[in-house]
Amino acid sequence: MSFSPGILARGPWQPALVHSHWIEEPYSPSPEAARAADSAIAALAARGSPSHDGVSARLASFEARPAALSLELQPTRWALRLSPADASQSLAAMCVVRAADGRWLAGRRASWLASWPGRWALGAGGSVDLGESPVETLARELEEEWSVSAERLSIEMLQCLPQRLVMFVGMAWLADGASVVPEAEHDDFAWWPRDPQRWPAEAGGEVRQTGAMLAS
């Protein structure tokens, strides 16, 4: 199944209604995609960023219904997600974080990171590890990046970005009074207002658009 950029499916779904199945056959990229991954890894090493490569998830297919979301995942090379032209449907989990009063947690990604360095992003995110459910990824990334857990969690949408990186987007609400502690991947963080129209200028167009969609 090949996806075009845009919203692939819109929830919300409760985590228990999201089902993942891993197929055994690894994804075989085109020679062009493999060369682009090699080049991206070499560029990371040249600027001193972590340049490890490995295996993560690719979204092979999905079925979205009001009652459930089913995902078929496939092992793929992690570095394919770095291609600006074609990320080969690599899957990334994005855990948008809200305070109990509705504010949004935003973090500025450190300059040494492999993806979106120096840019502000919502919540936490990362690749889906081999054998992992994307729902598990949301909780893991939230704990790793902000040392906090969700009071409640919903799965909001599947989105295919222009470079064919697929985003599994969840929204985590924190308990009243919960505090976050950023890890080294963020060199600054802030709580943005409940209304995305009041967000500061550093909220880029894609971030602002995501917030508007999730707030509606």
Residue 168 has a pLDDT of: 98
Model confidence at 51, in pLDDT bands (50, 70, 90)?
low
| CATH architecture, domain 6-215 | Alpha-Beta Complex (3.90)
- 144-174 pLDDT tens trace: 999 999 999 999 999 999 999 999 999 999 9
Q: What is the pLDDT of residue 206?
A: 86
The 3-class SS string of the chain reads CCCCCEEEEEEEECHHHEEEEECCCCCCCCHHHHHHHHHHHHHHHHCCCCCCCCEEEEEEEEEECCCCEEEEEEEEEHHHHHCCCCCCCEEEEEEEEECCCCCEEEEEECCCCCCCCCCEEECEEEECECCCCHHHHHHHHHHHHHCCCCCEEEEEEEEECCCCCEEEEEEEECCCCCCCCCCCCEEEEEEECCCHHHCCCCCCHHHHHHHHHHHC
Average pLDDT, rounded, for the chain? 93
Domain ranges (residues) in the chain = 6-215
Q: Reply yes or no on whether the pLDDT at 175 is more than 70.
A: yes
pLDDT tens across 72-118, in order?
999 999 999 998 889 999 999 999 999 999 999 999 988 887 777 88
